Structure 1
């Protein structure tokens, strides 16, 4: 089966959402990246819950995001800290946003995806988790700052 361009984009978007959820779960439970990866791939990608079917995620992108976020967490967190307001370290950020910044930071630092695409995609993830409120605007500002720092040639 050949996937359309739209289906591929949807799978990448789902992988980004799943990566944020996986990183959040890892932080909250102390589970390893391998354990969470297997759980998501075996029990969340494409699974049915009540009347809702979970999206199929782009497995290679999902794996890369969570592994790079874990392997490069210190550098990602430092870039996030520099993008945040003074005296507001990443440790004080909502854990869902922290996971989002780590997944997005991993993609900004470790992939060839255009930074503007990464920003738009992860702002959409923020909107999914925080449909009301200013978190998506906050995420946009932080990710824009991070992207300009780590990939200045793209701007």
Structure 2
């Protein structure tokens, strides 16, 4: 884990964004309500004895709102980079949100270096999955980066 406080806050924002988008997909929560709930009850809070790190709120909002607003464009980019016979619907729902957040960052956040964005979402994947899935995230986001960043 990076010891830089801003880097840690961004990492926490990425993890929170994946969780928020997962919740939105499962429950259909409206964006404004979702952001408010995470601001007030999740980010930087203690839930079931687990302390959630302080997140960079503006970055979190940009990720969640950006994925929400550009989901169609993001999903097209992702679908084109999956192996033949695979669809976004076949992906684990958490995996899909990790890939959506990573893709959004690659297309919309030129302030974040490509390698940093990819490696951050590989780390997020490791919080939920084993190395095989983390490598999958790396491969898909690397393919997206080659398509959208020159």
Report what 1:143 is aligned to: 141
Report the Cα distance in structure 2 between the residues aligned to 1:32 and 1:50, rounded to whole angstroms.
25
**Post-superposition offset of 1:22:** 0.5
**Post-superposition offset of 1:75:** 0.8
Report the Cα distance in structure 1 between the residues aligned to 2:124 and 2:44, rounded to whole angstroms.
18
Report what 1:124 is aligned to: 123
Pairing 1:34-49 to 2, within 5 Å after superposition: 34-49=32-47
Find runs of 4+ consecutive structure 1 residues off by over 4 angstroms.
Answer: none
- Correspondence for 2:87 among 86, 89, 92: 89
Report the Cα distance in structure 2 between the residues aligned to 1:109 and 1:60, rounded to whole angstroms.
17
Please state if 1:24 is matched with 2:34: no
**Post-superposition offset of 1:50:** 4.4
Is 119-128 or 84-93 further displaced after alignment? 84-93
What secondary structure sits across from 1:109 in the alignment? Answer: helix
**Post-superposition offset of 1:89:** 1.1
**Post-superposition offset of 1:19:** 0.4
Instruction: Normalising by structure 2, report the TM-score.
Output: 0.94
- Correspondence for 2:9 among 11, 14, 19: 11
- Unaligned 5+ segments in structure 2 are none
Report what 2:99 is aligned to: 101
1:97-125 C-alpha deviation (Å, 9 max, x unpaired):
11111111111111111111110000000
Report the Cα distance in structure 1 between the residues aligned to 2:41 and 2:98, rounded to whole angstroms.
21
